[in-house]
Structure 1
Amino acid sequence: MQPSQSPAAPSQPKKQRKPRLAAIEYIRGISMMGVIGIHVGSQYLENPAANMHLIALFEIFTRFSVPIFFFISAFGLFYNLDIHAPFDAKHFYKRRIQTVLIPYVVWSLLYLVHDGWLYGTGFPSPFYFCGILFFGVAKYQLYFLVILLWFYLFMPLWISLIKKMGLKGLAALLVFQIAFDYWSSYSVPFNIFVYDLPDDSLLKPILMYRLNYWVLHYIFIFLLGGWLAVHIESFKAFMQQRRTTITVLFWASMASLLAYYYWLLLTQGQTPLDGINTAHQLSPEGIFYTLMASLFFFTIFTYQRYPQALNPILHQLGKHSYFAYLVHPFVITYLALALQHAGRIMTGAIAIAFYFAVLILSMVLAVVFRKIGEHLPLVNKLTIGVYPKK
């Protein structure tokens, strides 16, 4: 009891933490698996005779993977946040620096040093190093952390918007999202302007790498995650009542994106590479697919419409998804070098085996380093932002 309190004064009740939602963890694991699929698909595309259907599995089916990470990140942020209480900026930003910024810088340095040694390019100059960090191009998966950091930076704005936003506001934001992403991805005059800029122009990388840090590309799915977290009870009732509709629309959204991909290849004469670069997550079909995938996976993981025996596997995938996501390009690099050394072409069968090898090895490394970090906490602090509990 504090000296200033009267003996009769009741103690202040502690704020109850909301129940853990396994769906958040499970979706992280599914998303990580999808991202690995996209990057393994890029390896398989180097085969001129690559099967377009297997490419669709690697590159189109998995297109929800990156944007759904923003959905889950926002959901996790807002789920235990009292948006009507004063925003504790100091605590919030300190925590994000620990969990995202420090691991981002550490992994960027690891990849720059490693790739400079492996490919003989050396370490970039300080000027280019700053540019690499700003745009998130030290390795192809790291840009996600850059966009996430920008989302964190504007957290007070997101809180303000979610406080005021209703269903009509979300619908208007979805329309804006489709229009903005369509302009950014498919506007011929804009993209010609960007590519025609001189190579020494500072504006060129700012516009070329806009997908790496313009939060407007994913603002709808991020705010949707936050809004649903704030209205969790209504969201649960919606999922329970509309489970069949959500499932049907999920498969319909996937079919629409796949149909767009096949239309580009079979009627427009595009190559598989051109097809996946056109039928991506920022296309109208891709946004629809991301939206329905977010609702679908949250629904099935909340109401357990699958064998319970999968839960331990999903738990491990989710628990170690962060490290596996960050480390898997190392695994891809050395498995690809092993194939090249053996003189093997990545056929369809090898590509499937390659995917599971990357997934398993990335998870093994995640588990091993997590265990090392329990004895040497600095390892977990630097690589995944996990600090010992006080």
Structure 2
Amino acid sequence: MQENNPAASPRKPRLPAIEYIRGISMMGVIGIHVGSQYIGNPASNAHLTALFEIFTRFSVPIFFFISAFGLFYNLNLDNWSYSQFLKKRWKTVLIPYLVWSVFYLVHDSWLYGSALPSPLYFCGILFFGVAKYQLYFLVLLLWFYLLMPLWVKMVKKLDMLWLIFLLGLQVMFDYWSSFSEPLNLFVYSLPDDSLLKPFFMYRLNYWVMHYIFIFVLGGWLAVHIEAFQSFMQRRRALVTAGFFLSMASLLAYYYYLLGPQGYTQLEAINTAHQLCPAGIAYTICASLFFFTIFTYNNYPQWLKNLLHILGKHSYFAYLVHPLFIGYLALVLSKSGHLMTAGIALAFYCAVLCLSVATAAIMRKAGDKLPFINALTIGVYKKNK
């Protein structure tokens, strides 16, 4: 039986680009986290680091773009129920978030011999999304869901000029949050036992202000889907050029930090990230580019099948991949091998394949035991 949901518009045509971008984003996030392992090698190659850490910088914010696009694409802005919306989203995000948080806390306690957190500390871990380094994304997504009435009002009212104004505010806010010396001095001057300190230290984990523009842009384009499709068709060359130029500018900033500025690779990737002005431009251009090529370019069937598999299993793969990174890193450490460039590439392929394969196996098991899919990825068996 289909749920009677007033928030939904009449079913619109499926957009494969949404699923394909999810898969590409998941691959990029794994690249960033593998890059964090690779950069521990004192002789790490700066160009390979750029591939892992700079080229992939669109990966996290583009998830917000696609999430908003999917939400607004099938949402009736004039007749939707906030309570029904939250009920559905709690099932798809909050429950898996809690399950995976507990899993990683228990698993890491067992693997590394650390104590489980106290109840109060456990609540703090859940609030900030730090049970594992990838889970903060779900915390931010939950905050976006809680504030959905605000986004609906904004999407309904905004025009192109207001979008540009919002982009300007986004650039200024992200620059302040990322690079303000007074802010950083204030945060690091707080005592370690200060209750205020974690609220600033982990601000990237729950301040939705860091990603408002890309989220609202996704929703706005979904509502104006016909105009967006026309733009993609007419301006495909411009969209493609924008993607490569923005990528080149972010890479140039990275190499500038390494060269004239004398930054280490770690310092450079922590500066040339998705919240710096070049990173924001790259995210926007990448969102438009991937949506365009996955909508209007023709691909062989085998590639479509591969993109479908990656997209279908991206959620579970995103949530589980730190497990494989951790175990493979332990294997390397115990064997005495440094993560050279060749090993890093093989490491990435292994993590990706293991994560997607495990996701596919668990999804299949969830078809037999529906609680598995419900708890891990928020997918529920449909009543006939």
* TM > 0.5: yes
| Separation (CA, whole Å) in 2 of partners of 1:254 and 1:216 | 23
In the other structure, the counterpart of 1:196 is: 189
How does the TM-score come out when normalised to structure 1? 0.95
Higher CA-based Rg? 1
Mapping of residues 135-146 of structure 1, within 5 Å: 135-146=128-139
Gaps spanning 5+ residues in structure 1: where? Answer: 1-13
| Separation (CA, whole Å) in 1 of partners of 2:331 and 2:111 | 14
In the other structure, the counterpart of 1:247 is: 240
Matched, 1:61 2:55: yes
| Separation (CA, whole Å) in 1 of partners of 2:188 and 2:235 | 45
How big is the shift at 1:306?
A: 4.2
How big is the shift at 1:343?
A: 1.5
Are the counterparts in 1 of residues 23 and 314 from structure 2 also a CA contact under 8 Å?
Answer: yes
| Separation (CA, whole Å) in 1 of partners of 2:330 and 2:167 | 43
SS at match of 1:264: helix
In the other structure, the counterpart of 1:322 is: 315
What percent of counterpart residues are identical?
Answer: 70
| Separation (CA, whole Å) in 2 of partners of 1:75 and 1:169 | 19
Mapping of residues 139-154 of structure 1, within 5 Å: 139-154=132-147
Matched, 1:309 2:309: no
Mapping of residues 1-390 of structure 1, within 5 Å: 16-85=10-79, 87-390=80-383
SS at match of 1:278: coil
Are the counterparts in 2 of residues 228 and 235 from structure 1 also a CA contact under 8 Å?
Answer: yes
Are the counterparts in 1 of residues 9 and 76 from structure 2 also a CA contact under 8 Å?
Answer: no
How big is the shift at 1:339?
A: 1.2
Q: CA RMSD in A?
A: 1.0
How does the TM-score come out when normalised to structure 2? 0.97
| Separation (CA, whole Å) in 2 of partners of 1:306 and 1:222 | 28
How big is the shift at 1:284?
A: 0.0
Per the alignment, do residues 261 and 317 of structure 1 end up closer, same or farther by CA in structure 2, a change over 3 Å counting? Answer: same
Gaps spanning 5+ residues in structure 2: where? Answer: 1-7
| Separation (CA, whole Å) in 1 of partners of 2:299 and 2:193 | 54
Are the counterparts in 2 of residues 113 and 122 from structure 1 also a CA contact under 8 Å?
Answer: no
Aligned positions, number: 376
How big is the shift at 1:16?
A: 3.2
Per the alignment, do residues 19 and 198 of structure 1 end up closer, same or farther by CA in structure 2, a change over 3 Å counting? Answer: same
Are the counterparts in 2 of residues 300 and 306 from structure 1 also a CA contact under 8 Å?
Answer: no
Are the counterparts in 1 of residues 9 and 75 from structure 2 also a CA contact under 8 Å?
Answer: no
SS at match of 2:93: helix
How big is the shift at 1:304?
A: 2.0
Are the counterparts in 1 of residues 109 and 115 from structure 2 also a CA contact under 8 Å?
Answer: yes
Query: Which piece of structure 1 moves more, 160-169 or 334-343?
Result: 334-343
